[in-house]
A and B are shown apart, each in its own frame.
Chain A
């Protein structure tokens, strides 16, 4: 194996890594925003309000991300309505299609994580809020959501790592993310092992950095506990 190609093409790989990071950051932020209402609807006492997010979560967690990306990127253009709509300039771009698919996907997973965290809060705290006379909104804003945030962190860190790995699928719809860039370089140099291994190493470094950042946030968020050993409920 000849690793001089890796040195030569390293700047291109970093360019790809930056695209991967953009995909992950935008989808994680948007996904988190959508996940909260989905999670709250999922634990609603009203049956039909519960049913919609249940079906949504079941679909996006039960089908491969690759299918979801293809559905958005190739599927949407099947309909003339979409092609003529104002959204077409967005749905024409592979980058935004990837963002849409990733956001839908990660919001389903994140909603389940949020739901688990909200339900993991002891009933006594909910009762205490009611006794103190808080409204439902105050209870969520002051007690339940901040508590849930601390519980959610480890699982949420995992979800971001999964999203980073999922972002490699963007390469299948012509996006030059880290994987896509690697494939382009390989098409020119024909050194699959060297370039793919280098790309793998970059993914690994990004994962390790994300894990380290989350460990810091966890330490800060849960510092009142004086320990890191908190039980996180299983999602699902």
Chain B
């Protein structure tokens, strides 16, 4: 067996942090994506511009830079806002919070496009039928539109989640104790860089395989309403 010099459970702890970060960012990103897609389909031009600006900027900037901007920038922005309310203490934004914000924003920008495509593919008749049944806009969205959008958007969102999972490694640069940083720590004490980075790589690979299996299960579940054969 491979000798991990006692760093095995450290790496597993890192995997838990990586997974927590990925799931928290996924949650933020899905909400941002739905909001962004609705904004892009809005009839008000200003709202469309804001959404277009958001997706263009986030998708054109390296994820690492987004993480760095949020990590170093959030502190000064938050302190400036708090200063307006007369609060002068030092506010520190943790690596986890910065990571969730940065990765959530990134995921949201890409998810906006996925959701927009899915929203546009819902036939007009579905909207009309829901209105004819007397549903209000919110109930129409939850009962009729969202379940169908979800089914169409799932494959795209699944791909984005795999990208997100790999991007979590970037947050180690600002000091989050994820798989990557645990591997860095192990390397600096054992000098066995190849071994530990390879182990880290296979841990990410394992997480990827698990996510792929879960996504395909979700896809089957989401399309159970469709007639088979």
Contact = CB atoms under 8 A, between A and B. Distances in A.
Interface string B68-79: 110011001000
Nearest to B56: A204
A193 interface: yes
Contact of B64 (A79, A171, A186, A236): A171
B65 interface: yes
Interface in A65-92: 65-68, 70-71, 74-79
Interface residues of B, number: 41
B201 interface: yes
A193 B72 contact: yes
Contacts, number: 119
B38 interface: no
Nearest to A210: B60
Given A172-B173, A204-B61, A59 B73 contact: no
Interface in B183-212: 183-184, 187, 191-195, 197-198, 200-202, 204-205, 208-209
Contacts of A199: 65
B205 A62 contact: yes
B177 interface: no
Interface residues of A, number: 41
B166 A65 contact: yes
Interface string B201-229: 11011001100000000000000000000
B81 interface: no
B11 interface: no
A75 B167 contact: no
A137 to B, nearest CB: 35
A62 B208 contact: yes
A126 to B, nearest CB: 28
A208 B65 CA distance: 17
Report the 3 A-B pairs with minimum CB-CB distance, sorted nearest first. A168-B62, A75-B194, A192-B72
